[in-house]
Structure 1
Amino acid sequence: MSGEPFLIGDSMTGGYGKSGPDILHDCTIAVERGEIAVIVGPNGAGKSTAMKAVFGMLNLRQGAVRLDGQDITELSPQARVRKGMGFVPQTSNIFTSMTVEENLEMGAFIREDDYRETMEQVFELFPILREKRAQAAGELSGGQRQQVAVGRALMTQPKVLMLDEPTAGVSPIVMDELFDRIIEVARTGICILMVEQNARQALEIADKGYVLVQGANAHTGTGKDLLADPDVRRSFLGG
């Protein structure tokens, strides 16, 4: 469709399993090329569920997901990866017994071309990974593990990078560094869709923000607009 966002989860209603209750209620999430879109909201608001719905990990009873104008609602997550979607879950997102370099190589599993240039780009984005390329990923700090997870997703050369709570459990300094790298990735033209518990910091870097409450859109706007919205500040940002 002309004029439609590059990626859109449109009016999504659904939940887990065939007969589970609906967690999402007419929820819409969209992101353009080179944009950072952030999903925030209280615990249990359906933030991660909305992202998983976009990635095809739960059943939609209503609504659709479209990527670059193509309806992908019925595609499996694996098929969506081949269409250009990269997903970094919050936990269990690296192979701990493998080296950093082996983790990145695993990210290139769908590639049939020479992926060494992409690996070099990942090392330029995350210099510490080059330094630790021969080390077991399980020995790294929490922030370094997240870099491995994001790097592995980038090895597929995604058009969309989806991050579920990328800064969970890391220090404020590491969080700022990760956000800086995420901005760099977006500048290459990749869509970033991110669920984030550090709402204020995430909205500061967001082109677009979605505040979810009980699986539905409560507020939508630019990151700047949401940060300035008294209702959003009072309800979700601590005043």
Structure 2
Amino acid sequence: MSFLAATGMTGGYGGADIITDCELRVERGEIAVVVGPNGAGKSTAMKAVFGMLNLREGSVVFDGTDITGLAPQERVRVGMGFVPQNRNVFVSLSVEENLEMGAFIRDDDISQSKEQVFELFPILAEKRNQPAGELSGGQRQQVAVGRALMTQPRLLMLDEPTAGVSPIVMDELFDRIVEIAKTGIAILMVEQNARQALEIADHGFVLVQGTNRFTDTGEALLANEEVRRSFLGG
């Protein structure tokens, strides 16, 4: 059984199913990437894993425990961190206050965790007293990731972490994601920059119309001619 095993996920937002028999898996310390065309159900699948979507069928098993019935806030307490694509920082709060908000479930000393985030993202240490709303898009993404790390997650889920950032910032974010995985945290990531994401992925899932079309290692998917032609621009 994988560290995270989301299997047979079928459901939507009250109308037609958006994902059908969808499967996502990731192991400790590995990076799993979900790619596919627009409207493929990638973000919906991620939300289903985090409990933001009621599944009509399927299950989510995390570290050997079935958590299908848990609410999102309960999933945070068992070790899941989620960074949504939009509205993922408190714009009126400082960088440091955003990080402190991320530690809401903890009652221990969070100072070491804050310093670890500042080591991972040095620019945030420089701007720790600056309102998050004044930061660049890439810096806001760093704040959002850092805040999720403050919960000390065992699984970090990222929904389009490089959306709207420059190629240089994208590369930097991917480098930091690799560093996070090296600490033993599992990473599950939906990403629009499919080729670059698969280059750092241990495993990849290509979704089409809410269903798994291809599942393989990142390296194998990059080498797959049909995947390259249909989803990676040749």
TM, length-normalised to structure 2: 0.99
Which residue of 99, 103, 106 maps to 1:104? 99
| Matching residue of 1:138 | 133
SS at match of 1:59: coil
| Matching residue of 2:10 | 13
Q: Identity of counterpart residues, as a percentage? A: 77
For 1:216, the aligned partner's letter is T
Give the total of aligned pairs.
234
Corresponding position: 1:56 with 2:47:
no
SS at match of 2:56: strand
Distance 1:95 1:224 in 2: 37
Distance 2:94 2:228 in 1: 43
Corresponding position: 1:46 with 2:41:
yes
For 1:59, the aligned partner's letter is N
| Matching residue of 2:212 | 217
| Matching residue of 1:203 | 198
How far apart are 1:79 and its partner, in Å? 0.3
How far apart are 1:16 and its partner, in Å? 1.1
Unaligned runs of 5+ in 1: none
Distance 2:6 2:171 in 1: 28
SS at match of 1:150: helix
How far apart are 1:59 and its partner, in Å? 1.1
Which residue of 67, 74, 79 maps to 1:72? 67
Deviations 1:150-169 (A, max 9, x none): 00000000000000000000
SS at match of 2:129: coil
| Matching residue of 2:178 | 183
RMSD: 0.4
Unaligned runs of 5+ in 2: none
